[in-house]
Chain A
Amino acid sequence: QKEVEQNSGPLSVPEGAIASLNCTYSDRGSQSFFWYRQYSGKSPELIMFIYSNGDKEDGRFTAQLNKASQYVSLLIRDSQPSDSATYLCAVNILSSGSARQLTFGSGTQLTVLP
């Protein structure tokens, strides 16, 4: 069973703080890792993707990947109330042929307090 696990939260941080979101995955064959943001009743919005071990930065967001530990995280610096949402970790297991599919975690609900 290919699983993606996240702490459901809620995670509360004060405005301006760093929010740290964590995700573990079970399948060592996983190739690509994604973070999506989902506001209530809305669709997942792609924030970042990472393929290689280490850190990847994009503005206030940093994704971190450790394939040996099967762990991926998302850091949000200078958190804003507008960052309050559910953050979904998704893992892409490259299947045979040209097919791909994402396996999602249950999401971590983040609240940034003004």
Chain B
Amino acid sequence: EPEVTQTPSHQVTQMGQEVILRCVPISNHLYFYWYRQILGQKVEFLVSFYNNEISEKSEIFDDQFSVERPDGSNFTLKIRSTKLEDSAMYFCASSPQSDTIYFGEGSWLTVV
């Protein structure tokens, strides 16, 4: 069964460093997303991406975040200057024309 794959599964980074999280959405899906979940808290929407541009973003997705689809398969989330409060599980997700959203296994980011 097709699935969303994410790398790395776990990354530890120093505060102020740049981090890139990578995702390969399910092929033939049209919509791509990043969500995050701080430990013990709700899953939160960050950004959606369609037709090679950001469709919608939340208040969390400020200027330190960016997304890119550099080729036909990868979808990346970049955090330019990480803060302690960016420590969370980051989930990439994708959906076909319908609005059923499928999540990857997540990338656990720890900022120290």
Contact = CB atoms under 8 A, between A and B. Distances in A.
Interface of A: 31-32, 34, 36, 42-46, 49, 88, 90, 92, 94-95, 97-107
What bracket does the count of chain B residues touching chain A fall in? Answer: 20 to 34
Interface in B24-65: 31, 33, 35, 41-45, 48, 50-51, 55-56, 58
B56 A95 contact: yes
B29 to A, nearest CB: 12
B1 to A, nearest CB: 12
Contacts, number: 61
B48 A100 contact: yes
By CB atoms of chain A within 10 A, which of B31, B45, B51, B104 has the most? B45
A97 B48 CA distance: 12
Report, nearest first, the 5 A-B pairs whose CB atoms are least far apart. A99-B55, A99-B56, A104-B43, A101-B45, A43-B103
A45 B100 CA distance: 11
